Amino acid sequence: MTYGLHYGGGVFEGLRAYDTPWGRSVFRLEDHMRRFIESARFLRLKLDYDLGELCEGVRSVVRTNGPNADYIRPIAFYGATPNLSMNPQGIPTHVAIVTVHMGSYIGDRQMREGMDAIVSSWEKPSNRATSSMAKVCGNYVNSALAKFDAVQAGADEAIMLNGNGTVAEGTGENLFIVRDGKLITPDLASGVLEGVTRDTVIKLARAAGYDVEERPITRGELLVANEVFMTGTAAEIVPVRTIDGVPINGGRPGPVTLQVQRLYNSAVRGEDARFVDWLDLVERKDIELLKV
């Protein structure tokens, strides 16, 4: 009788924990949990916890579950409903935080050599149908259908278009292309999640001197791009080597993608002092000491 099960009335987040020189750290914890609160607000879920309490809840679960717990999933959902009405008003909100051992989400080989993607026949819901910026549980039925079809077709991932026919994102990742040395990613009006990893890559790339543009991307641009890669907290940074069987950069990761991978791996593990503010240590040591 849980409303969230019957109607998808819940929101979630995905976070990663990494080992750093100062101990275990959850990457961009506050940014993720702030989005969690915003997603709940969109769905009218009433959270009984503030940002600080939610963040400490994540730290506590990571501490308890040990070093193999590298992926964290907070979820808030409408609980039991007495009559299965579509109206969620008055239904209590439940919050849970779980961890799992994720490892490589797409696959170790795909991280090194690139993954194979297809353009899905399933269209991403428009911003008129739902909020693509909120991580609503029910929104991801659409992604599950696209992922199922991609795997059935022998691919690793699906690329989804929006109602305008331009590129949106993967089933659980944002997308970037590289053309003439410039990084381009679909803008928010293209119906994409405002990904934390997407934002991380934009900031890392600009700090490295790259021009980054947020704008609509046509399907044709995917096939003529110099490089294509996808980003997500679970997926991290994954090169795309083929789209619909067409090789990208000769079917191997390109130099910009590989540099972005290196920059990201350094940032999440505390090896780049410029981005130490993104680290949230599980043991809550004084983060200011890391800047010395």
pLDDT in tens, 225-250: 999 999 999 999 999 999 999 999 99
pLDDT < 50 positions in the chain: 292
> Which residues pair with residue 12 across a beta bridge?
75
Residues 269, 261: Cα–Cα separation, whole Å: 12
183 closest CA partner among 242, 263, 270: 263
| Residue whose pair of structure tokens reads 């590129």 in the numeric block | 167
274 closest CA partner among 263, 283, 282: 263
Q: Where do the CATH 3.20.10.10 domains begin and end in the chain? A: 108-270
Query: 257 exposed, middle or buried (CB, 10 Å; 0-12, 13-18, 19+)?
Result: buried
Residues 134, 277: Cα–Cα separation, whole Å: 24
Contact 70, 18 (CB under 8 A): yes
Give the Cβ contact number of residue 203 at 10 Å: 16
Q: Among the options 124, 135, 147, 203, which is catalytic?
A: 135
Task: For residue 239, give the amino acid letter.
Answer: P
> Which residues pair with residue 179 across a beta bridge?
182
Q: Residue 168 phi/psi, 5° resolution?
A: -105, -85
- Domain spanning 108-270: CATH 1.20.120.550: no
Burial 46-57 (b: 16+ CB within 10 A, else e): ebebeeeebbeb
Which CATH fold topology does 3-100 show?
D-amino Acid Aminotransferase; Chain A, domain 1 (3.30.470)
Residues 137, 153: Cα–Cα separation, whole Å: 25
Active site annotation includes 135? yes
pLDDT at 283: 85
What pTM was computed for the model? 0.94
pLDDT at 128: 87
281 closest CA partner among 47, 93, 44, 29: 29
pLDDT at 124: 93
Q: Where do the CATH 3.30.470.10 domains begin and end in the chain? A: 3-100
pLDDT at 127: 86
> Which residues pair with residue 98 across a beta bridge?
73
